[in-house]
Chains A and B, each alone.
Chain A
Amino acid sequence: MRLTARRLFFVWDFEKEERWLNEMASKGMNLQGVSICSYVFEEGTPGEYQYHVEWLKYRPSHPESVAYIRFLEETGVEHIGSLMNWVYFRKKRADGAFDLSSDLDARIDHFKRISWLLWVLLPCVLIFIASQIYQCLTHKGVLPALMPLIVLDILILACITMGLVKTRLTYRRLKKERLLRE
């Protein structure tokens, strides 16, 4: 049986997304493919797979990423799909533990990559907002028409800011821990 679920996760909530995918897998719903806000599951044996999600530095088609994914595949990991730089991996539980980063440095690096993405998005949204404000100021009467767009922009801005704060806090917590251990 196939099931398509629609869910939206913020990029900084990838751990939540992973938990959700693993909960589904423990109920026997195994992720088969991904597209924007949509997850395709196929019914299988409960608890057969463990899932991981990772944001790669380069696009999945980039030679660096291809080499990385091939390396993971050699260790029994299956690459089931990608969405921009997000890649979805799974491994059979019977084939042993599945973890992408066993050291703090790798986790710190992952959070750094994600907050970098947010820092790139931030100016884009700011430029968009600025141009809308400029239009409102120069053309009287466009404000009502532009209002929904402006509200949407402000919401996106709030999300990005929240994401930056969240990733920053995790980053700092991991950095502190790094002083004590590997």
Chain B
Amino acid sequence: MSENIALTEAVYYILLSLYEPMHGYGIMQKVEQMSKERVRLAAGTLYGAISTLLEKGWIRALPGESNSRKKEYLITEKGKEAVEREVIRLRELVENGERITGGKGI
């Protein structure tokens, strides 16, 4: 079952940051660092995205550690497939963009 949808920038980066276990605040910092501070996730937006991704089964919550009440999340196989499809889609967008603009702006 492949869903041919464009991910939002927030979802794309959240999924990428969850290739290693991370809690909410960690995701925000990781995304900021990966995008060189271009993408700053708002806490409410992140919360909404995490709930939806959990429902879709693209990420899962890890069983909590006893010494911390912060919940950690990790991407699932299904989530990884979605990211891989997205990379292919993005590559197509970039290739077409570069071909037509002549690669200006790189």
Which A residues form the contact surface with B (CB < 8 A)? 54, 68, 71-72, 74-77, 97-103, 105-106, 182
Chain A residues with CB under 8 Å of B25's CB are 74-76
Tell me whether chain B's interface is mostly helix, strand or loop, or mixed.
helix
Given A77-B43, A102-B41, CB of A182 within 8 Å of CB of B70:
no
Task: List which B20-62 residues lie within 8 A (CB) of chain A.
Answer: 23-25, 28, 40-48, 50
- Would you give the shortest CB distance from B47 to chain A, in whole angstroms? 5
Find the A residue at minimum CB distance from B39: A102
Partner of A100, one of B10, B23, B44: B44
Given A76-B25, A106-B48, CB of A71 within 8 Å of CB of B43:
yes
Q: What band does the interface of chain B fall in when counting residues whose beta carbon is under 8 Å from A?
A: 10 to 19
A98 to B43 Cα, complex, angstroms: 8
A98 to B45 Cα, complex, angstroms: 12
B8 close to chain A: CB less than 8 A = yes
A74 touches B23 (CB 8 A): yes
For the complex with contacts A72-B43, A106-B42, A182-B8, 5 further pairs of A-B residues with Cβ separation under 8 Å are A100-B44, A102-B40, A103-B42, A106-B44, A182-B10
A77 to B47 Cα, complex, angstroms: 13
Task: Indicate the member of A76, A103, A182 with the most B CB atoms within 10 Å.
Answer: A103
Chain A residues with CB under 8 Å of B23's CB are 74
Chain B residues with CB under 8 Å of A54's CB are 44
B42 touches A102 (CB 8 A): yes
